[in-house]
Chain A
Amino acid sequence: MATADWNPLGEVYYRKCELYTMEWSGLVDLAKHTVAASSYGGPIALMKDDSKTARVTTTIKPVISVYNAAGKLLSQMRWNSGTVVTMGWSATEELLCVQEDGVVLVYDMFLTFKKTFSMGQEAKDVKILDAKIFASFQGTGIAVMTTSFRIFLISNVDSPRIVRLAEVPGLNEAPNCWTIVVSDRQARALVAKGGELYLVDQGGQFQQQQAELSENAGDITELAVSFNNKYLALCTKNGALWIGSADLQKKYCEFNTSSPMKPQQLVWCGNGAVVALWDKLILVVGPDKDWIKYNMDCSVHLLQEEDGLRIIGNDTHEFLQKVPAVTEQIFKIGSMEPGAMLYEASKEFQKRNQKADEYIRMIKDKLEVAVNQCIQAAGQEVEPGKQRTLLRAASFGKCFLTDYRPELFVNMCQMLRVLNQVRHHSVGIPLTYTQLEHLSMPVLIDRLVLRKLFGLSVRICQYLKIPDAEGRSRILAHWACFKVQQKHEDEEKLARAISQKLLDVPGVSFSEIASQALEHGRKQLAVKLLDYEPRASEQVPLLLKMGQDQTALTKAIDSGDTDLVYTVLLHLRDKMASAGDFFMMIRTMPIACSLYIQYCRQQNLKLVEDLYYQEDNSLEEGNCKVIRSYTLEHLEERAKLLEDAMNCFHRCKNEFAAKQTEEQVRLLRHQRRLEDDTGNSYADLSLQQTLRKLIGDGNHGHVEKLRKEFKVPDKRFWMLKISALAEVGDWSELEKLSKTKKPPVTLEVFVDACMKQYNRTEAVRYVSRVQPEQRVKCLVKVGQFREAAEAAIENKSEEDFDYVLSRLGLADRQVAETVRGMRGQLMARR
């Protein structure tokens, strides 16, 4: 019968079931060890305690061993630091060892050292008496009591910030006991001084508290706060056990244990009962003074959990809990709850008994409740067999329901499957369903990863269909990070193994793994792994860190990300001894080169010139020199630089550029001489502009000289001269010019030049002499539309006439009308 091992405690029942037969059985005697176990089915740390065994004090340092909850040894080490006062576990399953001098050392469960911090100068100076590790609202906290009876506290081991609590008035000897109470997001200490209780807080306030105790109870010797920080239990010297609320406002009972001895442990079982331990005797006391007694075979260690109590012994690991309400409803003898009936019905159905039908009929309208009860009860069972029968009952009941939503059932099946996996003794996490709900699945997966159970956690993720990014990819990345730390494995093999597993997994950061490898001094491996990193922005900085400059540069260039290339380039430039070496390195990479040149161009043009010089790019070097010459204000300097440029052009066989540069130098010199002669400035003018100015000034001698020297083509020179003369209004000279024999330009140019100066009268003079084929156009230019139209008609050219028509927009209306009317004449002529 399921209820055979239930023990009544007032209205409710308690049951104790075995979780594991310990693997350490026969090897470990708990009586000789200090024990620290982590809640939520966490690992157990043991430290051989000399004070418990040794008759002779030795200087040999103790050994610390970590086991999983099934007693399987995970790791072991000889302690080589100071005296450990208290050991405990953080919420993230780190082992916290608080030393006598207030130094806290943090290890992972494989006893790999992680970090250390101190509990303050005072703790260091005067040593500490005792320390408590507690769950704070921010994580895990540590409180220490110094030999001067002051309490220092941190709320979060991940970011230790030390706070001093208020002092208990008149405390001049070590208090009998003290504990930490967390409420309203603050941790306070409850200190027992004789028969009095003081609550001290972080704001420097203390408060005396009074527990309603019978008169001859004596001093308080032990305090225990429940898991939810709402209830408090305390023991007195004369064996009274008081249970009440944590603020001592409410008293539930006072129970006389009649034991003059202080219990070894006083803890809470869930939030419903207090458990006291004297060597091999366990006493469970309920709030209504009911009690249960268990006799154990050997000394044990008690650990309070959210919904019960773990009893760790030399041979077994048991779990004591209040029988959950739903379990009670189904299994209590004579229960008429729908769940119980359904359970019976299912059992009868298995036996092919028609009673099954009767039972179902009885609960027909409460069938849904029955199914839910069976599902929930399955969650409360540890044994897979029992889970199965309950689930089978639920499934049986479901058949009679038409629109039952299956999520509840499916979820429970999935959760139980996961729970059974992690409860397996090789994993050793004896979580209950209630605990898992509180802990949440992602945290459980994290804990499996912490235990390096990568395969199992990946399978769980896949089974629960957790997205790869949060599940599988993350785990594989952790796996790879762990893998690279294994020094005995061959790098080549390792790189291959990791890449094979991870290459098709989206969202794995190879650079993270590589940096992990680098941290463990495995540079070659890191380089190999980094090659798989697709994100250049992650890859390149790490490559630089590893000194893989060339690869970093290539990767940066391949990525096309200019910023990344600059990161590498500037890093290299600062690193390299000489600019020459640096340039030698990048010269084979055109993109890097040109980007660097771009950068230099914005800094300093001279630098660019030097780069081109080193690169043997004489053409660009010359161009740079040409550009730079314009920044020099002294003629001779400018000429000198241009001559340098000319040599560059010669070197790259660009004779044209060389010649032009040479001519420019000559032009500069001419301009300076002209300036000296005439007092006019010709600086920075082109040859054309210089000539124009000279023509305007009437300096025809110099014009001829320059024209010959620089071989200005006839046609251009004429056009220049015509427009220059028109500009200064030297009409007579212009006319003289037009009468030169065989001019290289047509008279139209003269017309244009005059019109550009808005001098129609002058323009008209030339129109009459214009060649017949250009006459029409020129007449239009001077605005003689009618004459133009007549000329077009004379030429019998429809094209010309259309041209005149298209330009009529500029003519006045009357003329335009007349011209339009002349179209007929054109037709007549043809």
Chain B
Amino acid sequence: MIQVEKMAATGAAHLNSAKLNLGILRDFYRREFLECIDKCIGTKALVWDDGLTGPFGLIAEASMLKEQHEVERMFRLQSSGLPSSNVQNIIFIVRPKLGLMETIAQCLLNEEMKGGYVRKEFYLVFVPRKSLLCEKKLKELGVYGSFASVEEFNLGLIPFDSDLLSMEMDESYKECYLQNDFTSMFFAAQSLMTLQALYGTIPYVYGKGDCAKQVVDMMRRMKMEMGGVEPQITPQIDNLLILDRNVDLLTPLLSQLTYEGLIDEIFNIKNTNVKLPPEKFVSQEEKKNSKEPLPTEPKKFILNSADELYAELRDKNFNAVGAIVSRKAKTITAEFDERHAAKTVGEMKQFVSKLPHLQNVRASLGIHTSIAELVKEVTDSDEFLDSLRCQQELTHGIDTDKVNPYIEDCIAREEPLSKVLRLICIQSICNDGLKPKVLDFYKREIIQTYGFEHMVTLSNLEKSGFLRPHAARTYQVIRKTMKLIVEDVNEQNPNDIAYVYSGYAPLSVRLAQYLARPGWRSITEVLNLLPGPKVEEVQQIPMGLRKRRASVTSSQSSMGEQKLTLVFFLGGVTQAELAALRFLAQQDDGGTDYVVATTNIVQGHRLIESLQEHIEPVKLNPF
């Protein structure tokens, strides 16, 4: 039995720093959660659904729970049952998934068999909401009555960073576009209401895409349900832009080329945590000195803007990372060398006071040098470069109507299916759908090579819009009007968002950019070509709560006065898109700052994989 050793003990200081104090949101959730578990009196053990430990680590530290709230043990929810403990209360904290209910039932039955001296009370907390079906399932399994109470904890948008909120609902796109199940949109609307309760009603709401429309409609309805009770806070967010992933499917399929994007593509960042192979992180001396075998367990790192260096590196094109790291290394060495220059006691004291900070920076330099090396191994490989070349050809619209020889070779070489599918989907989008002959050829090749069971996966991709039969030509128009392809981008000192994909500017971010300036009216034509309706709405703010506009003559009006836009991605956002938005916010002439909310953080592999049908065949009986 493995215990959940510790949830990421992240401090929250980095949340408070920016334009919108997301610490408030975090504290709000933390309070609600503690209220939820403090309802049962006495010592407690928390049993966690695996999918929740990450998100909860971001709002409540294990140590705090232990010291102040009588949480003595933490377990992972497993069907093998709970390890023995003598706590008075056992609280299950789970998402409303039917599969988990069976596991819970198993645990409860095991506990009953065990008996024991101390009478235990069981509690169940659903995150983010109770579900009728789950409760029904528990009743069917005959354990519903064992719970002293069944509660819900409405954890909506989890603050990831000073400008990033995520709901961590990985299957959101699949549910909406494959299964026609818009539950996650309901949650999105709810969490937006929570945000507005804390940060004031957002005066202007824009959106594009079917799901965006749904969310805006639901928000309107929820506002009505509240019966006119509006948050009495001056709006801290000026605009809300809701983008449906369906509007821009191409971007997440392309290989991201920012530092953080690449780490995510290669190693999968989960709840701001990444696990990396350990060899690189052992220093030469340690290797020599230690007699013990080298660690084989992956090493875990937390990636967020609390790390100063990472905050600087994360959004850079990977080709610019090396230069920054070496420059930093030089400055840090120089700063360390200052100690030789320090002569007086005063100077020495000053140096010593800087020391912890310097050491931190040095440690982080070491880590990021190693991570960069790991990434570089991949980006230098032929597979990566060839794939990138192929992607670039496709986005430029070169020979997109024919079978692409590189994709063909990939299939023949039996490269990972998700890579192949990703490329085919890119081709389909860049060609506004594939000719039947080309599409059927690809499909046949995949079925023959990877197996017949993938026919359903292909069908899923067609249903969810990634693969299409030939349709009206729009991509070229959009590409040109929105300037999606930018030649000769400067990767070191970028002047356009296209640097995040080395020459391709994400459409989603372009939409945000055009909204801020000159406004969507200038791109009406493109908006009409993109799927789904356009939403533009004004939410009335009571007079007393309106922001006071600085007068034109005021000396302060030229500086400050940055508007804050919340961009909500339904169906996921990539790290590269985030980088592009951060880049826009930093532009002097931008005038708009961005905070991003999303259902989840995606990259191409995860997105494609979520749409794959996972069939596990029963072994054929040989007789």
- A residues touching B (Cβ–Cβ < 8 Å)? 506-508, 534-536, 558-563, 566-567, 570, 590-591, 593-595, 597-599, 602, 619, 623, 626-627, 630-635, 638, 656-657, 660-661, 664, 667, 675, 681, 683-689, 710, 712-713, 715-716, 719-720, 723, 806-807, 809
Q: Kindly list the 9 A-B residue pairs having the minimum CB-CB distance in the complex, ordered from nearest.
A: A594-B180, A686-B451, A506-B228, A562-B183, A630-B617, A506-B227, A719-B412, A716-B412, A664-B452
Contact in complex: B132, A594 (CB < 8 Å): no
Whether A594 contacts B620 in the complex (CB less than 8 A), given A507-B229, A660-B444, A715-B408, comes out as: no
B334 part of interface (Cβ distance < 8 Å): no
Q: Which residue of B lies closest to A592 (CB)?
A: B180
CB-defined A-B contacts under 8 Å, sample of 13:
A508-B227, A534-B227, A536-B225, A561-B186, A563-B130, A590-B180, A595-B181, A631-B617, A660-B452, A683-B622, A710-B448, A715-B408, A716-B445
Number of interface residues of B (CB under 8 A): 54
Contact in complex: A686, B229 (CB < 8 Å): no
A117 to chain B, nearest CB (A): 31
B456 part of interface (Cβ distance < 8 Å): yes
B472 part of interface (Cβ distance < 8 Å): no
B310 part of interface (Cβ distance < 8 Å): no
**Within 8 Å CB of B620, what residues of A?**
633-635, 638, 683-684
Whether A716 contacts B132 in the complex (CB less than 8 A), given A506-B229, A634-B621, A688-B414, comes out as: no
Contact in complex: B182, A686 (CB < 8 Å): no
B541 part of interface (Cβ distance < 8 Å): no
Whether A719 contacts B181 in the complex (CB less than 8 A), given A507-B227, A599-B133, comes out as: no
Q: Which residue of A lies closest to B97 (CB)?
A: A602
Whether A534 contacts B440 in the complex (CB less than 8 A), given A684-B619, A809-B380, comes out as: no
A702 to chain B, nearest CB (A): 16
Contact in complex: A566, B133 (CB < 8 Å): yes
A393 to chain B, nearest CB (A): 40
As a 0/1 sequence over residues 428 to 461 of chain B, the CB contacts with chain A under 8 angstroms (1 = contact) are 0000000000001001110111111101100100
**Within 8 Å CB of A536, what residues of B?**
221, 225
In the complex, what distance in Å separates the CA atom of A656 from the CA atom of B438? 12
B431 to chain A, nearest CB (A): 19
A8 to chain B, nearest CB (A): 58
B480 part of interface (Cβ distance < 8 Å): no
Contact in complex: A687, B448 (CB < 8 Å): yes
As a 0/1 sequence over residues 400 to 444 of chain B, the CB contacts with chain A under 8 angstroms (1 = contact) are 000000001101111000000000000000000000000010011
A755 to chain B, nearest CB (A): 11
Whether A619 contacts B182 in the complex (CB less than 8 A), given A507-B227, A563-B131, A716-B445, comes out as: no
B185 part of interface (Cβ distance < 8 Å): yes
Q: Which residue of B lies closest to A638 (CB)?
A: B620
Contact in complex: B214, A560 (CB < 8 Å): yes
Contact in complex: B133, A560 (CB < 8 Å): no
Given contacts A560-B218, A688-B449, 14 further A-B contacts (CB under 8 A): A534-B225, A536-B221, A536-B225, A559-B221, A560-B185, A598-B179, A599-B133, A623-B456, A626-B452, A632-B618, A635-B621, A661-B455, A664-B447, A683-B619
**Within 8 Å CB of B411, what residues of A?**
716
B189 part of interface (Cβ distance < 8 Å): yes
B457 to chain A, nearest CB (A): 10
**Within 8 Å CB of B120, what residues of A?**
none
Interface centre among B214, B217, B225 (most CB of A within 10 A): B225
A541 to chain B, nearest CB (A): 11
A10 to chain B, nearest CB (A): 57
A711 to chain B, nearest CB (A): 9
Q: Which residue of A lies closest to B454 (CB)?
A: A686
**Within 8 Å CB of B456, what residues of A?**
623, 626-627
Whether A626 contacts B455 in the complex (CB less than 8 A), given A561-B186, A633-B620, comes out as: yes
Contact in complex: A630, B616 (CB < 8 Å): yes
In the complex, what distance in Å separates the CA atom of A657 from the CA atom of B445? 13
Whether A563 contacts B98 in the complex (CB less than 8 A), given A534-B225, A630-B616, A688-B448, comes out as: no
A-B contact count (CB 8 A): 140
B224 part of interface (Cβ distance < 8 Å): yes
A273 to chain B, nearest CB (A): 52
As a 0/1 sequence over residues 560 to 603 of chain B, the CB contacts with chain A under 8 angstroms (1 = contact) are 00000000000000000000000000000000000000000000
As a 0/1 sequence over residues 177 to 221 of chain B, the CB contacts with chain A under 8 angstroms (1 = contact) are 001111101100100000000000000000000000010011001
Among B131, B225, B440, B618, the residue within 8 A (CB) of A630 is: B618
B377 to chain A, nearest CB (A): 9
A622 to chain B, nearest CB (A): 9
B287 part of interface (Cβ distance < 8 Å): no
B615 part of interface (Cβ distance < 8 Å): yes
Among B181, B409, B440, B617, the residue within 8 A (CB) of A562 is: B181
Among B229, B408, B616, B618, the residue within 8 A (CB) of A633 is: B618
- B residues touching A (Cβ–Cβ < 8 Å)? 98, 129-133, 136, 179-183, 185-186, 189, 214, 217-218, 221, 224-225, 227-229, 380, 408-409, 411-414, 440, 443-445, 447-453, 455-456, 459, 613, 615-622
**Within 8 Å CB of A599, what residues of B?**
133
**Within 8 Å CB of A630, what residues of B?**
453, 615-618
B193 to chain A, nearest CB (A): 12
Q: Which residue of A lies closest to B214 (CB)?
A: A560
In the complex, what distance in Å separates the CA atom of A632 from the CA atom of B98? 24
Contact in complex: B414, A560 (CB < 8 Å): no
Interface centre among A660, A661, A683 (most CB of B within 10 A): A660
Whether A686 contacts B452 in the complex (CB less than 8 A), given A560-B182, A594-B179, comes out as: yes
In the complex, what distance in Å separates the CA atom of A660 from the CA atom of B227? 57
Contact in complex: B189, A716 (CB < 8 Å): no
Q: Which residue of A lies closest to B451 (CB)?
A: A686
Among A508, A633, A657, A686, the residue within 8 A (CB) of B619 is: A633
**Within 8 Å CB of B189, what residues of A?**
560
**Within 8 Å CB of A806, what residues of B?**
380
Q: Which residue of B lies closest to A654 (CB)?
A: B459
In the complex, what distance in Å separates the CA atom of A507 from the CA atom of B450? 59
Contact in complex: A719, B409 (CB < 8 Å): yes
Q: Which residue of A lies closest to B444 (CB)?
A: A660
In the complex, what distance in Å separates the CA atom of A599 from the CA atom of B186? 18
B135 to chain A, nearest CB (A): 10
Contact in complex: A598, B622 (CB < 8 Å): no
In the complex, what distance in Å separates the CA atom of A623 from the CA atom of B182? 22
**Within 8 Å CB of B229, what residues of A?**
506-507
Contact in complex: A560, B186 (CB < 8 Å): yes
Contact in complex: B621, A633 (CB < 8 Å): yes
**Within 8 Å CB of B443, what residues of A?**
656, 660
A644 to chain B, nearest CB (A): 15
A587 to chain B, nearest CB (A): 14
In the complex, what distance in Å separates the CA atom of A506 from the CA atom of B621? 67
A209 to chain B, nearest CB (A): 45
**Within 8 Å CB of A562, what residues of B?**
181-183, 186
Whether A686 contacts B183 in the complex (CB less than 8 A), given A599-B133, A633-B621, A681-B622, comes out as: no
B229 to chain A, nearest CB (A): 6
Whether A566 contacts B132 in the complex (CB less than 8 A), given A716-B408, A806-B380, comes out as: yes
Among A591, A602, A713, A716, the residue within 8 A (CB) of B182 is: A591
Interface centre among B412, B413, B448, B621 (most CB of A within 10 A): B448
**Within 8 Å CB of A619, what residues of B?**
459
In the complex, what distance in Å separates the CA atom of A597 from the CA atom of B619? 27
**Within 8 Å CB of B181, what residues of A?**
562, 594-595, 598
Whether A720 contacts B444 in the complex (CB less than 8 A), given A595-B181, A633-B620, A633-B621, comes out as: no
Interface centre among B131, B408, B412, B619 (most CB of A within 10 A): B412
In the complex, what distance in Å separates the CA atom of A591 from the CA atom of B211? 13
**Within 8 Å CB of A566, what residues of B?**
131-133
In the complex, what distance in Å separates the CA atom of A712 from the CA atom of B224? 61
**Within 8 Å CB of B185, what residues of A?**
560
In the complex, what distance in Å separates the CA atom of A532 from the CA atom of B111? 48
In the complex, what distance in Å separates the CA atom of A806 from the CA atom of B131? 56
In the complex, what distance in Å separates the CA atom of A563 from the CA atom of B447? 38
Q: Which residue of A lies closest to B455 (CB)?
A: A660
Among A591, A661, A712, the residue within 8 A (CB) of B180 is: A591
